Amino acid sequence: MYTDFKWVGMANYTDLMKDSLFGHAIIVTCMIALIVTLASNVLGLLSALLVNFKGWIYNTARTVFFTPQVLSPVIVGFIWSIILTNDGVLNKLLGYIGLSGTSWLANTNIVVYSIIAVIVWQSMGFCTVIFLAMLQSIPSDLYEASIIDGCNRWKKFKHITFPLLAPGITINTVMLLISSFKVFDQVVVLTNGGPGTTTETISLKIINMGFVENQMGYASSMAVVLFLLIGSISVFVVSILKRREVEY
């Protein structure tokens, strides 16, 4: 069937600059990406340090930390939607200890942080595995030499462990930034962008504009902006983090 297309040039990009809802989606997405990247790296490093020992207990702990990573984001969303609803598991547990619950997915002040917590819970397992691999690749000779020099645990971590974890930090940061900027599944399942447009991310905005409102040209321009945003931030982050990587 023939459709009469009209060339609009750069009009879609001009309209994007005036679209306050798209601007809000960018802010929400950047906020999620920043907090998820920082929190997942910190928690992943802490959990890697905790399980960097031999024994069945630590092997079990590694499995527990990594299991959320292999689950589908949709499944994770459904699990946490049960936990975070008004009459969900979390509010019931808070009630048992004498605390009042809240609307984790309906309160506009905390709903974004609820989604961030879910994403961090799933993604920190990936960081744990990367950091654990880096920790186990550090030669023991370096630690033995530091003991002879009188280093305590903090100095060994500061001057040996943390600098040699730099490649892992680069990998985790870039991968988390890319995945966080594309976040879609968890948001759809938990809030579908609500309340209102409070949690609408760029990916969700693109899907709604293209397949719900049938404005494929406008949605495509959003996708191009997202691509450029991810690409430019990734290149910048890699160039910065690569400078602090050391070799032994």
In the chain, where are the structural domains located? 23-244
193-199-205-207 Cα dihedral, nearest 10 degrees: -40
Q: How many beta carbons lie within 10 A of that of residue 70, not counting itself?
A: 9
Distance (Å, rounded) from C-alpha 201 to C-alpha 135? 35
| Residues in CB range of 246: below 8 A, 6 or more apart | 163, 164, 166
Q: What is d(CA 206, CA 210) in angstroms, rounded to the nearest whole number?
A: 6
23-244 carries CATH number 1.10.3720.10: yes
This model's pTM is above 0.85: yes
For each of the chain's 248 residues, which pLDDT tens digit applies?
A: 445 667 777 888 898 889 999 999 999 999 999 999 999 999 999 999 999 988 889 889 999 999 999 999 999 999 999 999 888 889 999 888 888 888 899 999 999 999 999 999 999 999 999 999 999 988 888 888 888 888 888 888 888 889 899 999 999 999 999 999 999 999 999 999 989 999 999 999 999 999 998 888 899 999 999 999 999 999 999 999 888 776 65
Residue 166 · residue 243 · CB < 8 Å: no
CA distance 157 to 45: 12
